[in-house]
Structure formats: C-alpha cells, structure tokens
Amino acid sequence: MTTIQLQPADARLAALAVVYHLGRPGSELDAATLQPHEAGLGPLQPVIEGQLGLAVTTLDVTPYQLSRLGEALHGTVNELKQYELSEGRSVVPGFAAAFARLFPDHAGEEGGALDLASLGVMLRRRLDTAVREAAAQVEAARAAEAERAAAENAAERKGRSLWRRLFRRRSR
C-alpha cells in the first residue's frame, strides 16, 4: 500500500478522474477473467468523496490503484479539453454532472475546463514517480504470475508426457 495526500483541489481532480475512469466501459473488468473486480478505482471513489471537505485527503492505495489513477488523470485531462471544445458536453456518463458538482466555480466559466486540465497535468506530474513505481510493481507481479503459470503448464505437460510414454509401453 502507498499513502498519498492530496490538497482539496487535487482531491477534487482525483475524484473527477475516478468518475472518468468508472464511466468508461470495461474499466473495472479483470483482464484475465473479464469479470468485475474490486482491485480497481471503484472502492476508492467513496473514500475520496468522503474526504473532500477536509484540508488534506489521505488515500491508501495499492500499486494497481495508483497506476490506474495515473492513467485516469491522463484521460481526464484529455476529457476536460474535449469538454471545453464541445461546450460542456461529454460522452463519459456522469462526467458533466461530476464536473459541475466538484468544480462549481469553473462549470459556468469559459475556459474553466481548460484551467482544470492544466491543474490535472500538474497533479499527474507530482504523482509521476509514485505512479511509475506502482506501474513497475504491477508489471513485475504480472510477469511473476505469467512465469508461475508457465512453470505449472510445463509441469503439467511433462506429467502428461510421462503417462503417455507409460501407456504406449504397456499397449505394445
């Protein structure tokens, strides 16, 4: 687990990033099983939203969640630009409502979404080292799992091969 602390504006941006992430189809599906999982940003949403009034928002996140949050921040920056260009419309379900709720001062202001996009870039840069380390941990865990699965597969093939040889000898 990694603990990150966010100032109020950054916490609201993180909350918007989670809304963006969860609004994308398949964002919370396990890649291997294609089933919903609880390891993503879904469980983080109520934690962030519950701390929005505090001076500092403290989040305990797994490496996977932190790497997903970094990706969500990138996507949110792009969505904020698109949101501004399309005059307050978004294809991401709930994004416009969350934007208006989390940033009421920027919602009605021309260029408000672009101002937030630059703040999102700065937040992502501040989290960059932690996000890179988290992504490396996630990749190492995936590689270890793939190696373990390959070893199990090889052992299983070897066992089947042994039984085939024994069966062939007996049937001769």
Per-residue pLDDT of 83-118, as tens digits, reads 999 988 899 999 999 999 999 988 778 888 999 999
- What's the confidence (pLDDT) of residue 161? 65
Give percent of the chain with pLDDT exceeding 90.
60
Residue 172, pLDDT above cutoff 80 = no
pLDDT at 145 over 90: no
Residue 112's pLDDT is what?
Answer: 86
The yes-or-no verdict on residue 32 having pLDDT over 70 is: no
- What is residue 168's predicted lDDT score, i.e. its pLDDT? 67
Tokens at 76, concatenated: 């949110």
The closest alpha carbon to 134, from 73, 40, 62, 71, belongs to 62
For residues 52 and 148, the model is more confident at 52
Q: Which 3-state string (H, E, C) describes 130-161?
A: HHHHHHHHHHHHHHHHHHHHHHHHHHHHHHHH
> Model pTM?
0.81
Give the tens place of pLDDT for each residue, 56-90.
Answer: 999 999 999 999 999 999 999 999 999 999 988 89
- The answer to whether residue 34 scores a pLDDT higher than 90 is no
Residue 16 region, left (φ>0) first, then alpha (ψ -120 to 50), else beta?
alpha
How many Cβ atoms are within 10 Å of 61's Cβ, its own excluded?
A: 20
pLDDT, residue 15, reads: 97
pLDDT at 143: 87
Q: What angle do CA 104, 106, 108 make, to 5 degrees?
A: 80
* Average pLDDT taken over every residue of the chain: 87
Choice between 73 and 146, residue whose per-residue pLDDT is larger? 73
E-only strand ranges, 2-108: 2-6, 57-61
Q: What distances in angstroms separate CA 82 from CA 23, 71, 98, 109, one per listed residue?
A: 15, 17, 15, 15
